[in-house]
């Protein structure tokens, strides 16, 4: 079967599977966050942590809960790594270097999962399971919680309460992420993904030389790294490693897991605001952007312009033969459209145009479909900006879902929108001025610039994938990328919660003849155009010096 046919078949099965679960999963998540019943396990956790599940919080209290929980998580994960040599299942691996430990703690707590270390030689099994895998669940649940708080801002009126962060966090973990992770971990094990507490297995090569292949509890981390749009690999090759992703079926399932919750959350949103068509419009914009990036990336990798790739008939460098061009491009598009750093091919080896598209996809603010929770509140922020621009054009106060968008609301949305570009452009510029940056780059010229730009785009968007040619182990990159992850995660969260609090205090206004309908193609076009316009105005100069120049060379 040709690569084109197998790739198209994979896309068709993926879209069909997402369509099949879209309504039931979206409706289920809506019930999870509106149910007044607490499960027995949840009640036990509330008693242990002294949480009153019947109480609700104002937006500053909700935000403090997010920030406090994240701070404690960073400290715990940092200490777990630093004390690794004293822990069981450490496999003889010592304490993680302080810079790497801090960067990794920030990375996994912010749902970025950027990795500046080799997992097989750095992390023991206990740190992987009790530290990194746990944060894969909790960081995703934090994103879900913030998204639900913003939705409540639209659905509630004349109140300053947005729900309870601890209840939302618990329900997102216990009722959504954990059951799905258990189910699909079993599926992955059945399809060949490893799950072992052994340190490795010794094999003898054809030349008689023995070597050790590392083993790990792979499936349990692999499933939630995709499901929670995290991305941290238990092996250095990530989802290109045959123990993490052995065949075409596991590859398809992992892409499905990347997309299933962010896609289905648009159905959840429609149900919660009382109009499913509102969610369909958001989904159509997400799907349009995702399809555009996939088509261009696939075409670029199948129609290379380099001499070696021309001889090979396609750009096969950095790609696994068991996946091919189509499935590799599909994975790359899906992982950069969500806040996921997982890769089944090396983006650094993509063509100038193909690699540039993975970079551009993140620069859309990862809203197609975005991460778990982050994609929904990210595209709602862009919807508010779009309605504000539309209001300027017709000369009336903008409205969205029956709520007036005044100065406070638009300011909060603008802060949430501008945090990422600020981090990306200032971080890239500062890094290029540092004396030691040239030595950290695997390439010079336009591609070297792309490597730096990709690093700060990935961390500023809490994505975690990388152009592997760059070495980020020095103190500057460890610290500056950590700052990028923190700002890229928590500034938008605080702004979104402020926005939610402001919306919740308003009363709903009725639609009039001058109200722009938000359930049709006109609003979808305005929203998609706003996303493209913001990305173009902000990033085209930087892209012109990197991937665009490389593609035209």
Structure tokens at 531: 């996303």
Task: State the Cα–Cα distance between residues 414 and 115, nearest whole angstrom.
Answer: 30
pLDDT at 6: 92
Are the C-beta atoms of residues 409 and 499 closer than 8 Å to each other? yes
Residue at 139 is within a domain: no
What is the pTM (predicted TM-score) of this model? 0.96
* 244 SS3 class: coil
Which residues sit opposite 345 in a β-bridge? 319
pLDDT at 317: 85
Residue at 418 is within a domain: yes
Residue at 224 is within a domain: no
The 3-state secondary structure of 179-234 reads HHHHHHHHHHHHCCCCCCCCCEEEEECCCCCEEEEECCCHHHHHHHHHHCCCCCCC
Are the C-beta atoms of residues 236 and 114 closer than 8 Å to each other? no
Residue at 548 is within a domain: yes
Residue at 20 is within a domain: no
* Host H or E run for residue 20: helix 3-32
Could you report the per-residue pLDDT of 400-430, keeping only the tens digit for each?
999 999 999 999 999 999 999 999 999 999 9
Give yes or no for a cis peptide into 369 (omega within 30° of 0): yes
Residue at 260 is within a domain: no
Question: Sign (positive/negative) of CA torsion 487, 493, 496, 501?
Answer: negative
Task: State the Cα–Cα distance between residues 334 and 245, nearest whole angstrom.
Answer: 16
Q: How many domains is the chain built from?
A: 1
pLDDT at 334: 97
Own/partner pairs, 30-37, CB within 8 angstroms, 24+ separation: 30/267, 30/268, 30/271, 30/272, 32/171, 32/172, 32/175, 32/176, 33/148, 33/163, 33/168, 33/171, 33/268, 33/272, 34/272
Residue at 401 is within a domain: yes
Q: How many other C-beta atoms can be found within 10 angstroms of the C-beta atom of residue 307?
A: 8
* Low-confidence residues in the chain, pLDDT < 70: 1, 306-313
pLDDT at 306: 66
Q: Comparing C-alpha atoms, which of 88, 129, 122, 126 is closest to residue 103?
A: 122
470: domain range? 371-552
DSSP state letter for 43: H
Question: Sign (positive/negative) of CA torsion 19, 112, 412, 68?
Answer: positive
Contacts of 124 (CB under 8 A, 6+ apart): 84, 87, 89, 90, 91, 93
Residue at 245 is within a domain: no
Give exposure, 141-170, as e/b (b: 16+ Cβ within 10 Å).
bbbbbbbbbbbbbbbbeeeebbbbbbbbbb
């Amino acid at each position: 079967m040709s690569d084109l046919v197998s790739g198209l078949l994979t896309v068709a099965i993926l879209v069909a599977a997402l369509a099949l679960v879209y309504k039931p999963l979206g409706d289920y998540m809506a019930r999870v966050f509106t149910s007044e019943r607490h499960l027995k396990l949840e009640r036990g956790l509330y008693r242990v942590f002294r949480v009153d599940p019947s109480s609700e919080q104002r937006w500053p209290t909700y935000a403090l809960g997010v920030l406090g929980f994240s701070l404690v998580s960073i400290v715990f994960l940092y200490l777990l790594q630093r004390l690794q040599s004293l822990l069981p299942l450490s496999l003889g691996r010592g304490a993680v270097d302080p810079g790497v430990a801090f960067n990794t703690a920030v990375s996994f707590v912010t749902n970025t999962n950027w990795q500046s270390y080799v997992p097989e030689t750095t992390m023991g099994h206990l740190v992987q399971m009790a530290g990194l895998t746990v944060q894969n669940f909790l960081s995703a649940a934090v994103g879900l919680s913030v998204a639900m708080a913003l939705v409540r801002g639209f659905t509630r009126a004349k109140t300053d309460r947005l729900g309870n962060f601890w209840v939302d966090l618990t329900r997102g973990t216990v009722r959504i992420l954990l059951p799905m992770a258990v189910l699909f971990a079993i599926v992955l094990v059945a399809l060949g993904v490893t799950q072992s507490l052994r340190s490795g297995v010794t094999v003898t090569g054809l030349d008689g030389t023995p070597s050790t292949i590392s083993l790990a509890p792979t499936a349990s981390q692999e499933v939630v790294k995709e499901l929670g749009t995290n991305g941290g690999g238990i092996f250095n090759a990530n989802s290109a490693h045959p123990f993490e992703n052995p065949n075409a079926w596991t590859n398809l399932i992992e892409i499905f897991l990347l997309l299933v919750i962010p896609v289905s959350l648009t159905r959840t949103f429609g149900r919660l605001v009382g109009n499913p068509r509102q969610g369909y419009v958001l989904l159509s914009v997400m799907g349009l952007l995702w399809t555009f990036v996939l088509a261009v990336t696939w075409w670029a990798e199948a129609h290379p312009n380099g001499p070696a790739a021309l001889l090979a008939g396609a750009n096969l460098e950095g790609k696994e033969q068991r996946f091919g061009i189509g499935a590799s491009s599909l994975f790359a598009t899906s992982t950069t459209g969500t806040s996921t750093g997982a890769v089944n091919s090396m983006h650094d080896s993509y063509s100038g145009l193909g690699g540039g598209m993975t970079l551009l996809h993140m620069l859309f603010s990862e809203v197609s479909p975005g991460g778990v929770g982050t994609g929904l509140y990210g595209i709602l922020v862009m919807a508010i900006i779009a309605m504000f621009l539309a209001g300027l054009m017709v000369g009336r106060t903008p409205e969205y879902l029956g709520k007036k968008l005044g100065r406070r609301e638009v300011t909060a949305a603008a802060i949430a929108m501008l945090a990422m570009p600020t981090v990306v452009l200032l971080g890239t510029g500062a890094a290029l001025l540092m004396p030691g940056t040239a030595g950290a780059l695997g390439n010079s010229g336009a591609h070297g610039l792309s490597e730096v730009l990709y690093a700060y785009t990935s961390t500023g968007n809490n994505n975690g994938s990388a152009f592997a040619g760059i070495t980020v182990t020095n103190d500057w990159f460890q610290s500056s990328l950590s700052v990028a992850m923190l700002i890229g995660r928590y500034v938008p969260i605080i702004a979104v919660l402020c926005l939610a609090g402001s919306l919740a205090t308003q009363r709903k206004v009725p639609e009039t003849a001058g109200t722009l309908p938000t359930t049709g193609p006109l609003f979808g076009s305005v929203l998609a155009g706003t996303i493209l316009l913001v990305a173009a105005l902000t990033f085209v100069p930087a892209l012109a010096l990197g991937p665009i120049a490389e593609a035209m060379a």
